[in-house]
């Protein structure tokens, strides 16, 4: 049986190699982000040409060549499901994906679990940490529900306290990094054991000073620092070796443009033993001493996981510095167009070091939902309306393939949104 597995495994690796070679060949033909045509790059996606997509912060768009690689992995799997799902044929390729993801985040591969989304990572933390009466979990009103609700759920079971403080979101355009740190310094209490915050929040796009905030929390006695990286991984540089956090959870289906249903969960090596896995099958002894024990699911969609490696390769081929320059250009264009319109209020940070390719605009005297219904119903613009914490905003999240012409058209069409 071992000899048979070896023979079939070798054959399957040859099949996967053919998929990889086809992907690499097409990847090499992508336009250079610095000198090439963004319009040409846009053509490499599957977006409906009638749709103007300003909502990458909710769900990303998968490049065509990544989608085709995924389809090839799925076809290969179905030729012999026993071999590909339960054999050793894909063990090495899957570990290569883990290595790529660890390289992207600058951490050890043994510190990284391949999950399904950010919410799963935070549920694992809330379920698995030894918290009880006298302990407090702290987060602000800018936290996403996926990184928050799980703590309330397990607080009822375990008896620890959850405290949510109001972040001064209406003051966002005037805030500095020192103001952000001061807000948390005032909120942290002697009993705060766990601090949860986003790297980039999903409402107004504040880019947190993570390293400085982690150091502040440590100095105040916080034992575990968990960061929501759903809006950061794939958009900005993330160096977990430098940030000083204990856990970091992300959703590659946003800015990494990977297939839906994939997640990343970093757990620092010396913290892993403090967390009981949320579910277990047969692999706990095998994966002891590694974050893999947090992904001990049994059967899962392995072709999706393999495709994550291709999504990372696609993004890295574009170049992180070039991508961030493009994000900043779009941010500046959108902000300038809003300020010159006379009817738009900018509700996001005004310092790029605190900003991201995700920002909130208030259209004066018009409910954000009405703006969305008009702009999508008549013109197929996709973005996210928010009515929360005193905000009445539309959230714009642009990727590098969005264009100056789309921005100009957005503001021109805004003039026709009826007053309410």
Sheet strands (E) in 321-418: 344-346, 359-363, 381-382, 384-388, 391-396
Q: Is residue 326 part of a domain?
A: no
Q: What is the pLDDT of residue 14?
A: 59
Domain containing residue 172: 97-315
Q: How far apart are CA 164 and CA 137, in angstroms?
A: 9
**Tens of pLDDT, residue by residue, the chain (420 residues):** 444 444 455 555 557 777 878 888 778 777 666 555 666 788 889 999 999 999 999 999 999 999 999 999 999 999 999 888 888 888 899 999 999 999 999 999 999 999 999 999 999 999 999 999 999 999 999 999 999 999 999 999 999 999 999 999 999 999 999 999 999 999 999 999 999 999 999 999 999 999 999 999 999 999 999 999 999 999 999 999 999 999 999 999 999 999 999 999 999 999 999 999 999 998 888 998 999 999 998 888 999 999 999 999 999 998 888 899 999 999 999 999 999 998 999 999 999 999 999 999 999 899 999 999 999 999 999 999 999 999 999 999 999 999 999 999 999 999 999 987
Q: Is residue 106 part of a domain?
A: yes
Q: Is residue 82 part of a domain?
A: no
Q: Is residue 402 part of a domain?
A: no
Contacts (Cβ under 8 Å, ≥6 apart) of 320: 237
Cα angle value 90/93/96 (rounded, 5°) = 150
Q: What is the pLDDT of residue 37?
A: 62
DSSP letters for 7-48: HHHHHHHHHHHHHHHHHHHHHTTSPPTTTS-HHHHHTTB---
Q: Which of 63, 60, 72, 70 is nearest to 29 (CA)?
A: 63
Give me the CATH number covering residue 145.
Answer: 3.40.640.10
Q: Is residue 114 part of a domain?
A: yes
Q: Is residue 191 part of a domain?
A: yes
**0.85 exceeded by pTM:** yes
SS3 250: strand
Cβ(200)–Cβ(206) below 8 Å: yes
Structure tokens at 189: 């209490």
Looking at the 3D structure of the chain, how many domains does it have? 1
Q: Which contacts qualify for 23-26: CB closer than 8 Å, 24 or more apart?
A: 23/65, 23/68, 23/69, 23/310, 23/313, 24/313, 26/65
Q: Is residue 349 part of a domain?
A: no
SS3 386: strand
């Amino acid at each position: 049986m071992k000899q048979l597995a070896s023979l079939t495994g070798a054959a399957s690796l040859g099949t996967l190699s053919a998929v990889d070679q086809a992907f690499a060949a097409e990847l090499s033909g992508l336009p250079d982000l610095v000198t090439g045509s963004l319009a040409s790059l846009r053509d490499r996606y599957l977006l409906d040409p009638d749709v103007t997509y300003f909502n990458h912060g909710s769900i990303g768009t998968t490049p065509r060549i990544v989608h085709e690689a995924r389809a090839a992995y799925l076809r290969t799997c179905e030729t012999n499901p026993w071999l590909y799902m339960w054999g050793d044929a894909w063990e090495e390729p899957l570990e290569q994906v883990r290595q790529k993801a660890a390289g992207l985040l600058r951490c050890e591969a043994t510190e990284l679990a391949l999950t399904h989304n950010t919410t799963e990572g935070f549920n694992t933390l809330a379920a698995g940490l030894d918290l009880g009466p006298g302990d407090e979990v702290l987060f602000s009103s800018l936290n996403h529900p996926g990184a928050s609700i799980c703590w309330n759920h397990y607080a009822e079971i375990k008896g620890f306290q959850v405290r949510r403080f109001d972040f001064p979101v209406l003051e966002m355009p005037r805030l500095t990094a020192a103001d952000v740190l001061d807000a948390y310094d005032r909120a942290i209490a002697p009993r705060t054991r766990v601090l949860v915050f986003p790297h980039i929040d999903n409402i107004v796009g504040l880019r947190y000073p993570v390293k400085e905030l982690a150091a502040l929390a440590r100095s105040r006695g916080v034992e575990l620092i968990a960061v929501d990286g759903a809006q950061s991984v794939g958009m900005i540089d993330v160096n977990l070796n430098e940030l000083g956090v204990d856990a970091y959870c992300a959703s590659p289906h946003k800015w990494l443009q990977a297939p839906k249903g994939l997640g990343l969960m970093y757990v620092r090596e010396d913290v892993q033993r403090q967390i009981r896995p949320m579910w277990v099958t047969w692999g706990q002894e095998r994966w002891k001493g590694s974050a893999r024990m947090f992904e001990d699911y049994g059967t899962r969609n392995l072709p999706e996981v393999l495709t994550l490696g291709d999504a990372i390769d696609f993004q890295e081929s574009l170049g992180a510095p070039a991508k961030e320059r493009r994000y900043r250009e779009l941010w500046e264009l959108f902000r300038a167009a809003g300020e010159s319109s006379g009817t738009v209020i900018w509700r996001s940070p005004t310092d790029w070091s605190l900003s991201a390719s995700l920002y909130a605009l208030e259209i004066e005297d018009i409910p954000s939902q009405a703006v969305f219904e008009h702009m999508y119903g008549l013109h197929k613009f996709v973005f996210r309306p928010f009515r929360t914490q005193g905000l009445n905003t539309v959230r714009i999240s642009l990727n590098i393939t969005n264009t100056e012409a789309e921005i100009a058209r957005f503001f021109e069409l805004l003039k026709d949104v009826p007053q309410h």
